[in-house]
Chain A
């Protein structure tokens, strides 16, 4: 039978601190996406470079990132690097793990983006008198951007959800970490985690909706 009395008031009093945690979550997601995009572009270029060794190197990164759990990748950064004498705190380990994961997935996205624009287009632009830079900026890039926009925003949502894994390696400043801190103090698990769930939902929806608005604004002819 149902014998549980909800205590929402003390849980709601923790809201300011949880919002602070949400800020750290967003910060982590943004940082991991920036690093992930940068490395992802490099990996995609390595894959298409034609150099065998660069290609293999990028392929190993991509396949490991895509075929092992994100939590495993965070463990590798947290426990694994420690054995090599590289001691990093849980924030950096989480960031490294998610960025590694993002880069692997985004590299494939970018490779698809590169292929989405036929090389004939750049050549046509060049023969019409565009400079190489102008041809890339005005002809190739807009089409590439369009092809990778949705996958990248999807990955951004994934990055937000992945930040919740920090608590497993002891991070206590992000949204899940703060929630867990209150949870072990009060054992009001349901109330605190329900509020965290709502906050995560709102963050994820905010990203999805703004991406959709932006796409609607950018990609209409």
Chain B
């Protein structure tokens, strides 16, 4: 008979951890998408020599491991005498990290709209803003949405690293349970893995389906 020392209360703790995982993901995605859209549109519309510094800056966040970014930013706040909770630091770092990837997606989406289409819109009398909202956005969205869903799932999985600076999210919680119940790490990890999988897999499938449908219409 299968026997485990894991109680319902421990399962509740894991669910709580999953809650933190989702919360950090949500904040990082909302903040990162807003920032990333701003950066991406800026990079797509101004000439390359005017935005190369921003491209360089954002590239740093894509070339340095997230773990190092978390530790570094976590160490910066105390220098200014500020006490910032690990949760806040995690949200800030992940939002910037997300914006670095999101800006590339947005830039690619905006540049995927043919210049002739945009010129036609402008010569029909649409303002720059109308062109952006009514013409570029709907066309670019089809290019951006599948990658953006992929980014969201990537960030969700990357939140597993914030446990290192002391946020008790899902994976950290399962590690705590593992060190408390020495003899069944496999079972606890399987539950945590299953939760990650159940969050990620349906959304990944949705993204793949959207991508396929958009390709059909092209």
In the complex, whether B80 has a CB less than 8 A from a CB of chain A is: yes
Q: State A67–B160 Cα separation when bound (angstroms).
A: 13
Say what secondary structure dominates the interface of chain A.
helix
Interface size class of A (residues with CB under 8 A): 35 or more
Q: What is the minimal beta-carbon distance from B24 to any residue of chain A, in angstroms?
A: 13
Q: Are the C-beta atoms of B160 and A69 separated by less than 8 Å?
A: yes
**A190 contacts which chain B residues (CB < 8 A)?**
72, 75-76, 79
In the complex, whether A124 has a CB less than 8 A from a CB of chain B is: no
**B199 — nearest CB in chain A belongs to which residue?**
A67
Given A68-B193, A71-B171, A168-B164, answer yes or no on A205-B185 (Cβ-Cβ < 8 Å): no
Q: State A208–B171 Cα separation when bound (angstroms).
A: 31
Q: State A71–B183 Cα separation when bound (angstroms).
A: 20
Interface string of A40-71 (1 = CB under 8 A from B): 00000000000000000000000110111111
Say what secondary structure dominates the interface of chain B.
helix
Q: State A79–B157 Cα separation when bound (angstroms).
A: 19
Q: State A70–B158 Cα separation when bound (angstroms).
A: 8
* Segment of B45-53, B63-71, B106-114, B120-128 engaged in the interface with chain A: B63-71
Q: Are the C-beta atoms of B80 and A67 separated by less than 8 Å?
A: no
Q: What is the minimal beta-carbon distance from B190 to any residue of chain A, in angstroms?
A: 8
**A68 contacts which chain B residues (CB < 8 A)?**
157, 193, 196-197, 200
Q: Are the C-beta atoms of B186 and A193 separated by less than 8 Å?
A: no
Q: What is the minimal beta-carbon distance from A214 to any residue of chain B, in angstroms?
A: 18
Interface residues of B (CB under 8 A from A): 60, 63-69, 71-72, 74-76, 78-81, 153, 157-161, 163-164, 171, 174-175, 178, 183-186, 189-190, 192-193, 196-197, 200-201, 204
Interface residues of A (CB under 8 A from B): 1-4, 63-64, 66-72, 75-76, 79-80, 82-84, 157, 161-165, 167-168, 176, 189-190, 193-194, 196-197, 200-201, 204-205, 208
